[in-house]
Amino acid sequence: MKQLTLNLTFAVAPAVKSIFKNTTWLNAGWATPCLGFTKKVEISQSLSDALMPIHEDDHDQQLYDALWMAHHHLVLDQRPSFSFTFDFLRDDKISGRFIETSLRLHVEEKEQLILLGLIQDF
> Domain for residue 115, yes or no?
yes
The answer to whether residue 83 sits within a structural domain is yes
pLDDT single digits (tens) 39-85: 999 999 999 999 987 656 678 888 999 999 999 999 998 889 999 99
> What does the DSSP assignment read for 49-80?
HHT--SSS--HHHHHHHHHHHHHHHHHHH--S
Quick check: is 5 in a domain? no
Q: Is there a domain that residue 17 lies in?
A: no
Between these two residues, 77 and 93, which has the higher pLDDT value? Answer: 77
pLDDT at 99 (0 to 100): 85
The whole domain housing 65 covers: 25-121
Share of the chain above pLDDT 70, in %: 79
Determine the Cα–Cα distance for residues 117 and 26; give it in Å rounded to an integer.
Answer: 10
- Lowest mean pLDDT of 1-10, 57-66, 75-84, 102-111, name the range: 1-10
Number of domains into which the chain is organized: 1
Q: Which of 121, 52, 59, 56 is nearest to 92 (CA)?
A: 56
Question: Beta strand 40-44 with 113-118: parallel, antiparallel or unpaired?
Answer: parallel
